[in-house]
Amino acid sequence: MNRRNFMKFLGFITGSTFLSSCGIDKGLRKIISYAIPPEKEIIPGEPLFFNTTCTECPALCGIQVKAYEKIFDTERGIYPVKLEGIPDHPINYGTLCIRGQASITRLYNPHRIKDPLIKERDGVFRSISWDQAFQTIISEIEKHKAEKRYNFFISSRTTGSLSLLIDEFCHEFNIKRLPEFEIYNYSAIRKANSFLFGKYSIPHYNIKDADFLLTMGADIFETFISPVSHAVQFSIARKNNNLKWFHVEPHLSLTGICSDKRFTINPGTEIYLLIYILTSIQKRKISSNIPASVGQLIPSLPLDILKEKTGLKEEEILLIRDAYLNSKRPLIITGGVSTRSGSGFEVAVLSGLINWASGSIGSLVDFSREENYLRVGTIEEFVNFLKTIDENNTGLLFLLKTDPVSIFPQHLGVKEKLIRARFKVSLSDSFNETTKICDLILPLSHSLESWGDANPRRGLVNLIQPATKTIFNTKSHGDIIIEIMKRKGKVVSEDFKSFVMSNYQKRYGKDSLNMFIEKGFHEENPSPVRVSFNEENAQLFLRKLKYPEAMKTPLLILSPSLRFFDGRSFDLELLKEIPDPLSTISYGSWISLSEETAKKLNISERDELEITKDQWSIRVPAKIQKGIGKDIFIVQIGGPINYSGMTDPRSGEILSYIEGINIRKTGKNVSIPILSGSMSQEGRGIIPYPIHRTENNKKHKESLYPEHKHENYRWAMTIDLDLCIGCSACVAACYIENNVPIVGINEHLKGREMSWIRVEPFYDEKDGIRFLLMLCQQCDYAPCEPVCPVYATYHNPEGINAQVYNRCVGTRYCSNNCPYKVRRFNWYPHEWEFPRDRMLNPEVSVRQAGVMEKCTFCIQRIRRAHDIAKDEGRSIRDGEVMPACAQTCPTRAITFGNILDKNSSVYKLSKSDRSYRIFEQLGTEPSIYYLGKRRGDE
């Protein structure tokens, strides 16, 4: 080797070693410093709160948005992570329903429309700029104006400033604004009220003041008018005036199960029962406000006819009657399926008469707080409109947040009719059947990204304010309309925000404006409304009253869906992930039928059935369920299945009954994710009946392990099964709060759902259907703790079964050993891709694959409470900490607190004579106490 090679060698070695020693950068993250501080001070790591309005359904609850400032590589922004009710909001009193909780996932839904889209010749959509979009609209308007065509504007229910703006817009471009299209428009009730009391409106039902409630078909906890409000009032009434509540329905609904007593009535025969109640009120001369002239016309029904028509037993009928007569402040609410039948109008009128007779109108039925449905039309009106459309006379068609195409079945040809319009503009946030046929799609911002206001009912205004900047290239409906008008030279105001503000100031003055923005709503005491009883109409009605025929079986009942409302919430993955509380089916649709019906037609579970009636037909797997009448089939609408499109001319409602259907087994066997392993308690006294009395809270067994010392805090929870309505809001809240991943149908079919809290329905002892809320029981002697080899799970000083995710090696021993099976294992890694990663709660870590996870009583909230308490040098107050589930519970069935504190509400409730713990005989000493459910006859 010569000198040169030697040098080469040296050089080579030096270089290589040099290279090998660098390249040690470990993915450095950035901190972004603002150029200028934002006007609303943001303390990094601390949450921000905005008060706004939930627009997931027409109830318009007030919500408080919890947002965090987050940094994603180079962008620094504020992102909402959780929605909660505004504590003193007059509709929802700080609570929220399952759809409201899930509404935040609509904001981060990756399938949202991201840009304005225009349809090409070849029928594919191409994204364009907003400018182009507005230009095309303007030019289209001009064109059709020139060619003397009519333009139309259809929308779902709009209120407040938006509604006003639309009026101006339509007026400006002489567009014909159609009555708003809502499938749940309650027109039967409104018509009945105008017929009897001259008010074409939906009253506000003061359930909280009633001492007896009789609901007929009205699904007051699922979709009916304002479910959360009803749930809240129900619990208040239960606590204050010990509400007694009967429910009469032809099918099986969540509401029915939650009532004290549920009566299955023959479909469409509610009238008989109503008349009977009316007569019996009449007979008892005292305190009937119905004038004799009307009273004498009320037909009296002999009991036996009533029995054979309604299918109710005599004692049942008498029970209802007596309960009604003996109560001081009775209230009857009819709606839902009962008013969506051929005799819907009569049912509504009769219930109106009963309420009038018992003097509930004005007090319990409050017209001064009437729901704001002024612009909402009936299905009739919409159908008539469809008839009028055709190529020559119809130009522009605006569809705002409405999807009639998928709501009506195909054979009615709604699609074909709408297509006839020359140019269809859809304002929508996600793709649906209607957007497909449109020529121009304008992507709408989520209400969490936009300004606006809402006017849910008389005397109440809600604010809608943005909690984040728009995630995609979207605009709010208000801004879009204002922009269009600007393009035309008509400046209403520079943007929708200022429009909203000016409207507010016009009505309530300047000074309360900041208050309004701070609080998120403004309520005024509405001027009282005098309601007069229209005698002639009543007489007329009773004279011409004819009794309906019994419905032809087999009968299909289309019942509203708790999770998807009328189908508008169907594109939220989270709602599909959470099972329907009645059937515990998460994904897909199904048809429920009773065991005897199944036996008769020898249908077994998961068989696919084809249901046909004339041209209308659906294919769904069967689910056998207790508590359903003979030859009655129930399908939940929303999503793939929807109403048959048949309407009732008198009430103008859509019919939810399909008589004389024919059922055919297709022979296919569809696998549907039924999450419940058994619909029965197997006699294990999980929901004991009669209620556990104190004898069950017996002295605890001796343990080999030393007693846990809880010094200052021992967190505990009580769940009142008497108030729990199985609405699953808590489940949704838990998903959002704790970054629980959504795993999809295939995992669900294997039984690998991830929810930390679940609603378990148990169908037992003669249709006694009960809900049980099951979550980690945080046992004192938790079987999961001693078996963990690495102390990933252990008992923390405050009595929580802690789970340290990044210590867990995944033996799954703890889950095996948990008697309540509430631990969840991450079978696969979960992606949180854009924009879902924006939704993650920074207070909770994201679990990686192969790790066990579980409920921690929302430890992050407890930690925060500790933090605040320490700063103020005190201990945590009772009710200061609330886990997500307890916080959102509309009926306040869940109470959380420190059980060492003798004055805490948890301690008091845990000592109640109804309190018991599940599987007490195992000696696990759970710290969740259940309060047993009373029966209607208790």
Partner 1 sequence: MNKAISKAIEFRYRIEKDVLAAMKKPHIQYWIFLFISVILFVTGMSLWYYQIKTGMGVSGKTHPVGWYMYITNFVFWVGIAHSGTLISAVLFLFRAGFRSSFNRSAEAMTVFAIMTAGLFPIIHLGRPWLFYWLLPYPNERLLWVNFKSPLIWDVFAVGTYFTVSLIFFYVGMIPDLAIARRYATGWKRRLYSFLSLGWQGTPDQWRHYNRLYMFLASFATPLVVSVHSVVSWDFAMSIIPGWHTTIFAPYFVAGAIFSGTAMVITLVVPMRKFFSLEKYITLDHFDSIAKILLLTSLIVSYSYIVEFSMAFYGGNIFEMEVFRYRAFGDFWIFFAIMIICNSIIPLFLFIRKLRRNIKFLFISSLFVNVGMWMERFVIIVTSLSRDFDPYAWGLPSFSTVAIGITLGSFGMFFMLFLIFVKVLPILSITELKEVHE
Partner 2 sequence: MRRSLVLATISCYASIFSIIFLSIGYYNYYHDGPPIQPIAFSHRIHVAKVGLPCNFCHVYADKSKNAGIPHIQKCMDCHRAVAVEKPEIKKLTSYWEQRKPIEWIKIYKLPDHVYFSHKRHIKKGVECSQCHGEVQVMDRVRRVRTLKMGWCVRCHRVNDAPTDCLTCHK
- Contact positions vs partner 1 (CB under 8 A): 584, 675-678, 680-684, 686, 705, 747, 750-753, 758, 760, 762, 772, 774, 783, 786-791, 807-813, 815-817, 819-821, 824-829, 848-852, 919, 922
Please choose which of partner 1, partner 2, none residue 527 contacts, taking the beta carbon within 5 to 8 angstroms, the exact cut-off set by kind: none
**Pairing state between β 440-443 and 452-457:** unpaired
C-beta closer to partner 2: residue 45 or 123 = 45
- CB 751, min distance to partner 1, A: 4
Contact 902, 716 (CB under 8 A): no
Tell me the longest C-alpha to C-alpha distance in the chain.
129
> What are φ and ψ of residue 300, in 5° steps?
-105, 130
- CB 800, min distance to partner 2, A: 7
Please choose which of partner 1, partner 2, none residue 87 contacts, taking the beta carbon within 5 to 8 angstroms, the exact cut-off set by kind: none
Please choose which of partner 2, partner 1, none residue 797 contacts, taking the beta carbon within 5 to 8 angstroms, the exact cut-off set by kind: partner 2
Q: Is the dihedral of CA 103, 109, 111, 113 positive or negative?
A: positive
Cα–Cα dist 220/255, whole Å: 6
Residues sharing a CB contact under 8 Å with residue 112, sequence separation 6 or more, in sequence order:
106, 429, 430, 443, 471, 472, 474
Selected from 664, 870, 877, 935, the binder of partner 2 by CB under 8 A is 870
User: Is 807 one of the binding residues for partner 2 (CB under 8 A)?
Assistant: yes
User: Is 313 one of the binding residues for partner 2 (CB under 8 A)?
Assistant: no
C-beta closer to partner 2: residue 477 or 861 = 861
Q: Which residue has the tokens 């701070």?
A: 518
Cα–Cα dist 191/204, whole Å: 16
**Pairing state between β 793-795 and 801-803:** antiparallel
User: Is 14 one of the binding residues for partner 2 (CB under 8 A)?
Assistant: yes
Please choose which of partner 2, partner 1, none residue 678 contacts, taking the beta carbon within 5 to 8 angstroms, the exact cut-off set by kind: partner 1
User: Is 844 one of the binding residues for partner 2 (CB under 8 A)?
Assistant: yes
Please choose which of partner 2, partner 1, none residue 18 contacts, taking the beta carbon within 5 to 8 angstroms, the exact cut-off set by kind: partner 2
Token duo for residue 474: 């979207």
Dihedral, 75, 80, 82, 84 alpha carbons, nearest 10: 160
User: Is 860 one of the binding residues for partner 2 (CB under 8 A)?
Assistant: yes
- CB 573, min distance to partner 1, A: 19
C-beta closer to partner 2: residue 115 or 853 = 853
C-beta closer to partner 1: residue 508 or 794 = 794
- CB 809, min distance to partner 1, A: 5
C-beta closer to partner 1: residue 425 or 782 = 782
User: Is 287 one of the binding residues for partner 2 (CB under 8 A)?
Assistant: no
User: Is 698 one of the binding residues for partner 2 (CB under 8 A)?
Assistant: no
Contact 929, 716 (CB under 8 A): yes
User: Is 10 one of the binding residues for partner 2 (CB under 8 A)?
Assistant: yes
CA-CA distances (angstroms) from residue 263 to 245, 255, 323, 767? 11, 12, 14, 11
Question: In this chain, which stretch among 25-33, 330-338, 519-527, 929-937 interacts with partner 2, using CB under 8 A?
Answer: 25-33
CA-CA distances (angstroms) from residue 743 to 83, 683, 786, 792, 855? 22, 32, 30, 24, 18
- CB 488, min distance to partner 1, A: 57
User: Is 43 one of the binding residues for partner 2 (CB under 8 A)?
Assistant: yes
User: Is 185 one of the binding residues for partner 2 (CB under 8 A)?
Assistant: no
User: Is 30 one of the binding residues for partner 2 (CB under 8 A)?
Assistant: yes
Task: For residue 554, say if its preceding peptide bond is cis, omega within 30 degrees of 0.
Answer: yes
Residues sharing a CB contact under 8 Å with residue 622, sequence separation 6 or more, in sequence order:
590, 591, 592, 593, 598, 603, 604, 605, 606, 607, 608, 609
Please choose which of partner 2, partner 1, none residue 684 contacts, taking the beta carbon within 5 to 8 angstroms, the exact cut-off set by kind: partner 1
C-beta closer to partner 1: residue 643 or 929 = 929
Residues sharing a CB contact under 8 Å with residue 270, sequence separation 6 or more, in sequence order:
216, 217, 248, 334, 338, 343, 347
Selected from 4, 26, 546, 874, the binder of partner 2 by CB under 8 A is 26
Of the candidates 902, 919, 905, which has an alpha carbon nearest to the alpha carbon of residue 719?
905
- Per-residue b or e along 25-53, where b marks 16 or more CB atoms closer than 10 Å to that residue's CB: eeeeeeeeeeeeeeeeebeeeebbebbbb
User: Is 29 one of the binding residues for partner 2 (CB under 8 A)?
Assistant: yes
Cα–Cα dist 218/255, whole Å: 8
C-beta closer to partner 1: residue 314 or 682 = 682
Selected from 4, 24, 146, 491, the binder of partner 2 by CB under 8 A is 24
CA-CA distances (angstroms) from residue 177 to 172, 398, 414, 854? 12, 9, 19, 52
Please choose which of partner 2, partner 1, none residue 844 contacts, taking the beta carbon within 5 to 8 angstroms, the exact cut-off set by kind: partner 2
Cα–Cα dist 938/936, whole Å: 6
Residue 397: its H or E element: strand 394-400
Cα–Cα dist 336/208, whole Å: 20
Please choose which of partner 1, partner 2, none residue 516 contacts, taking the beta carbon within 5 to 8 angstroms, the exact cut-off set by kind: none
C-beta closer to partner 1: residue 369 or 933 = 933
- CB 859, min distance to partner 2, A: 6
C-beta closer to partner 1: residue 160 or 761 = 761
Selected from 871, 872, 874, 937, the binder of partner 2 by CB under 8 A is 871
Selected from 430, 470, 473, 796, the binder of partner 2 by CB under 8 A is 796
Looking at residue 56, its amino acid is E
User: Is 863 one of the binding residues for partner 2 (CB under 8 A)?
Assistant: yes
Of the candidates 785, 778, 808, which has an alpha carbon nearest to the alpha carbon of residue 706?
785
Please choose which of partner 2, partner 1, none residue 9 contacts, taking the beta carbon within 5 to 8 angstroms, the exact cut-off set by kind: partner 2
Token duo for residue 848: 């990686």
Please choose which of partner 2, partner 1, none residue 752 contacts, taking the beta carbon within 5 to 8 angstroms, the exact cut-off set by kind: partner 1
Selected from 44, 198, 413, 649, the binder of partner 2 by CB under 8 A is 44
| Number of residues this chain uses to bind partner 2 (CB under 8 A) | 49
User: Is 804 one of the binding residues for partner 2 (CB under 8 A)?
Assistant: yes
Of the candidates 897, 892, 923, which has an alpha carbon nearest to the alpha carbon of residue 908?
897
C-beta closer to partner 1: residue 683 or 873 = 683
User: Is 711 one of the binding residues for partner 2 (CB under 8 A)?
Assistant: no
Residue 679: its H or E element: none
Selected from 4, 34, 124, 921, the binder of partner 2 by CB under 8 A is 34
Please choose which of partner 2, partner 1, none residue 79 contacts, taking the beta carbon within 5 to 8 angstroms, the exact cut-off set by kind: none
Selected from 418, 800, 822, 931, the binder of partner 2 by CB under 8 A is 800
Contact 867, 874 (CB under 8 A): no
CA-CA distances (angstroms) from residue 565 to 50, 652, 795, 890? 26, 20, 42, 17
Task: For residue 58, say if its preceding peptide bond is cis, omega within 30 degrees of 0.
Answer: no
**Pairing state between β 460-464 and 365-371:** unpaired
Please choose which of partner 1, partner 2, none residue 33 contacts, taking the beta carbon within 5 to 8 angstroms, the exact cut-off set by kind: partner 2
Please choose which of partner 2, partner 1, none residue 809 contacts, taking the beta carbon within 5 to 8 angstroms, the exact cut-off set by kind: partner 1
CA-CA distances (angstroms) from residue 10 to 14, 20, 782, 785? 6, 15, 65, 60
3-state secondary structure of 480: helix
Please choose which of partner 2, partner 1, none residue 824 contacts, taking the beta carbon within 5 to 8 angstroms, the exact cut-off set by kind: partner 1
Please choose which of partner 1, partner 2, none residue 870 contacts, taking the beta carbon within 5 to 8 angstroms, the exact cut-off set by kind: partner 2
Selected from 74, 514, 903, 921, the binder of partner 2 by CB under 8 A is 74
- Interface ranges with partner 2 (CB under 8 A): 1, 6, 9-10, 13-14, 17-18, 20-22, 24, 26, 28-37, 43-46, 74, 76, 794, 796-797, 800, 802, 804-807, 843-846, 856, 859-860, 863, 867, 870-871
